[in-house]
Amino acid sequence: MMSDNGNQAMVEITNLKKYFPVTQGLLRRVVGNVRAVDDVTLQIIKGETLGLVGESGCGKSTLGRTILNLHKPTSGTVLFEGTDLSGLSGHDLRSMRARMQIIFQDPYSSLNPRMTVNAIVGEPFIIHKIARGTELDQRVAQLLERVGLNPLLGTRYPHEFSGGQRQRIGIARALALNPSFIVADEPISALDVSIQAQVVNLLEDLQDEFDLTYLFITHDLSMVRYICDRVAVMYLGKIVELGSIEDIYDNPQHPYTQALLSAVPVPDPIVEDQRQRIILEGDLPSPADPPTGCNFNTRCPIAFDRCFEEEPQLKDLLPRHDIACFAAEERLQV
């Protein structure tokens, strides 16, 4: 599976949609759909960290889960190393699932409070019948050690650990089955600043050591700049801009990306004094009732007639830099 720039695609997402029905009344009649993921086409390249950014409700977490087939897609396909997950069941699906894992935002609710750390981290080995007895104990101890936890603490329960340590437990469990692809869904958002850097550095080291491919879902644009190779910006269920970190941060083309980047405060008063901030008006529209035309047109400072009539498609207007915006098309195309 080769993408257009010659790199091997780990995950190929084509026209993926995930709609959640909106029901009403006693008979739960479907009266509409929340278009959480609305026609996303995207490749995740082997060995890269792809950042998926956007604000609450933009569909980024739903996209991550639909890629893993934790949500069944409404339509479209996801190929994982060339295999379509939706066509698999039973043993084949399980062995495929072992190769893709997820790390959650909230280390407080994603770990079973009634299980010891050893049981939590060892569970994947038991489910997949990979190890038991002393071998199991050894594998669990190795994993805990690798993520920076003392294996002697394995007999304790999650509530005895801090947020950062719990996130390490979640990472150890995700690593148990030697996955090649990990969806990290806001893995550091619940942590304090000084602890965030610890976890991010751990994720980077593990990537090098185990050849991992990451989809890093976050609203923290500063962190994405540090750890991702490419970034996809999502707004109301759609990808509006996709490119390398340098292209997106130094030369953003979509007005939403521009506003988003300008809104992030910089910890430097001299820079802050000189910054021109683009303040977007209003809130995110409801994904159950998106605007016609470009779905950013209600808040876009440069929208013109065409943006209210037609929907822009994600196009490679610059080399390996895709933008879904009519204004950018006019600006960039000769």
Partner 1 sequence: MPPKILELVNLVTRFHTDDGTVHAVNGVSYDLHEGETIGIVGESGCGKSVHALSIMRLIPTPPGEIAGGEILYQGTDLLKISEDEMRKIRGGEIAIIFQDPMTSLNPVMTIGKQITEALNLHMDMHGEQARERAAEMLDLVGIPQASDRLNSYPHEFSGGMRQRAMIAMALSCAPSILIADEPTTALDVTIQAQILDLVGRLRERLGMAIIWITHDLGIMAGLAERLMVMYAGFIVERASKHRVFADPRHPYTLGLLNSLPRVDKRESGSRLIPIVGRPPDLTMLPKGCPFYVRCPFSIEKCVAENPPLLEIAPGHEIACWVDVHEAATHEVLG
User: What residues line the site for partner 1 (CB under 8 A)?
Assistant: 55-56, 148, 162, 164, 192-198, 200-201, 204, 219-223, 225-226, 249, 259-273, 277, 279-280, 283-284
- HEC string of the chain equals CECCCCCEEEEEEEEEEEEEEEEECCCCEEEEEEEEEEEEEEEEECCCEEEEECCCCCCHHHHHHHHCCCCCCCEEEEEECCEEHHHCCHHHHHHHHCCEEEECCCCCCCCCCCCCHHHHHHHHHHHCCCCCHHHHHHHHHHHHHHCCCCHHHHHCCHHHCCHHHHHHHHHHHHHCCCCCEEEEECCCCCCCHHHHHHHHHHHHHHHHHHCCEEEEEECCHHHHHHHCCEEEEEECCEEEEEEEHHHHHHCCCCHHHHHHHHHCCCCCHHHHHHCCCCCCCCCCCCCCCCCCCCCCCCCCCCCCHHHHHCCCCCEEEECCEEECCHHHHHHHCC
Rounded to a whole number of angstroms, the minimum distance from the CB of residue 81 to partner 1 is 29
Q: Which is nearer to partner 1, 101 or 295 (CB)?
A: 295
Rounded to a whole number of angstroms, the minimum distance from the CB of residue 273 to partner 1 is 8
Q: Which is nearer to partner 1, 78 or 217 (CB)?
A: 217
Q: Which is nearer to partner 1, 27 or 270 (CB)?
A: 270
Q: Which is nearer to partner 1, 31 or 264 (CB)?
A: 264
Q: Which is nearer to partner 1, 63 or 68 (CB)?
A: 63
Q: Which is nearer to partner 1, 183 or 190 (CB)?
A: 190
Rounded to a whole number of angstroms, the minimum distance from the CB of residue 36 to partner 1 is 17
> In what order do the strands lie in the sheet containing 321-323?
100-103, 181-185, 213-218, 49-53, 230-235, 238-244, 321-323, 315-318
Rounded to a whole number of angstroms, the minimum distance from the CB of residue 264 to partner 1 is 4
Whether the CA torsion 202, 208, 214, 220 is positive or negative: it is: positive
Contact present, 81 and 160 (Cβ < 8 Å) = no
Rounded to a whole number of angstroms, the minimum distance from the CB of residue 222 to partner 1 is 4
Rounded to a whole number of angstroms, the minimum distance from the CB of residue 103 to partner 1 is 18
Rounded to a whole number of angstroms, the minimum distance from the CB of residue 271 to partner 1 is 6
Rounded to a whole number of angstroms, the minimum distance from the CB of residue 195 to partner 1 is 7
Q: Which is nearer to partner 1, 84 or 283 (CB)?
A: 283
Q: Which is nearer to partner 1, 17 or 219 (CB)?
A: 219
